[in-house]
Amino acid sequence: MEETRAVYSRTQRFVRGIIFLFLVFVAVLVLYPIVYIVLGSFKENSELLRGGANPIPSHYVIQNYIQAWRQANFAAYTQNSLFISLGVMVITLVVCSMAGYVFDRKKFRGKEVLYGLFIAFMFVNVGSVALRPLFELSVALHMNTSLFTVVLISAGMSQATNIFLVRGYMASIPREIDEAAKIDGCSFFGIYWRIALPLLKPVLATIGLLSFRQGWNEYILPLVFTISNDGMRPLTVGVTMLKNAGDGAAAWNIMFAGSTISILPILIVYLFASKYFMKGMTSGAVKG
C-alpha cells in the first residue's frame, strides 16, 4: 500500500512538473512580445533596425515617449478611444443582459430557433469581409462621419457569446425568486431591473471588462471609418501612424513608445476590475 502511494505521489509530482513547464512556456510566449515592445520603446531606432537577440537597450532614450506623445496627438486620440470603448461596453451590457434574461425567463414562439441562430453565429467570424458592405450602408444612412457608427458595429460583433454567458448564468438563478417577486406585484421588467441585474453583477463585470478591451483594441474598423478624418482616430490607429514619423526609415522606436503608452489605460482598468473579472469567470463553476 505504501509503495503504491509512493508511486502515485511520484506520478503526481511528475505530472505537475510537466504542467508547470508548459504554463511557463505559454507565459513566455505571451509576455515576450510585450516585454520586447516596452524595452524597445527605450531604444534608438538604429538599434532596433540592426536587430539582435538582446531586448535590453544599450542606453535608455526617454525622448521617444515625448516625441510619440506630441506626434500622435494622444489627448484627442485617447478621448476617441474612451468614447468607443465605453460606448461598446454600455451597449453590450444593456443588450446582452436584457436578451439573456428574456431567453431564459420568457416563453415565446421560435425562442429556441432564434437562440440556436445566436449560438451558431458564435462560430462564424466574417471579419474584414463585412467591412465594405457595412461602410457602404453607413454612407447611405449618412452615418459614416461619426464614431458612434463604429461603436454600434463593434458592439454587435460579439453579442452572441455574451448573450450565451448571461443566459447560462440566469439559468443558475432559482426561478422561485421570480415567483416570489410576482406575488409581490413585480412586473417582468421589474424582476429584471430589481432582481436579475443585481444577481448578474459578476458575469456582467466580466463582460463589461472584455467589451471595453474589445473597443479599446479595435483597429481595422476605426481605420476604415476615420481614413479621411484624422480627428476621429482612436489610439490604435494613431499609434500605427507613428511608424512614418522618422526621416526615411520606419520609426519603430516612436511607434513602440506610443504602443506602450496606449497599453497603460487598459492595464489600469484591469487592475481596478480584476477582482470582479475573476469572480465573474468563476461564478457558477461550483454549485452550492
Instruction: Give per-residue pLDDT as tens, 32-72.
Output: 888 888 888 888 888 887 776 677 888 888 888 888 887 77
Global pTM value: 0.80
Instruction: Give per-residue pLDDT as tens, 110-150.
Output: 888 988 888 887 777 666 677 888 888 888 888 888 889 89
pLDDT of residue 97: 93
pLDDT of residue 280: 62
pLDDT of residue 13: 82
**Quick one: 152 exposed, middle or buried, by C-beta within 10 A (0-12, 13-18, 19+)?**
middle
pLDDT of residue 1: 57
Average pLDDT over every residue of 170-179? 89
pLDDT of residue 244: 63
- pLDDT exceeds cutoff 60 at 284: no
- pLDDT exceeds cutoff 80 at 7: no
Kindly state the cell numbers that stand for 62.
526617454
Instruction: Give per-residue pLDDT as tens, 69-98.
Output: 877 778 888 889 999 999 999 999 999 999
- In 3D, which of 216, 214, 223, 268 has the Cα closest to residue 83? 216
pLDDT of residue 25: 94
**Quick one: 260 exposed, middle or buried, by C-beta within 10 A (0-12, 13-18, 19+)?**
buried
DSSP 175-236: THHHHHHHHTT--HHHHIIIIIHHHTHHHHHHHHHHHHHHHHH--HHHHHHTTT-GGG--HH
pLDDT of residue 243: 66
- pLDDT exceeds cutoff 80 at 283: no
Average pLDDT, the chain: 83
Q: Indicate the range of 5-19, 129-143, 145-159 predicted with least confidence.
A: 5-19
Instruction: Give per-residue pLDDT as tens, 202-254.
Output: 889 889 888 998 899 888 888 888 877 778 888 888 887 776 655 545 678 88
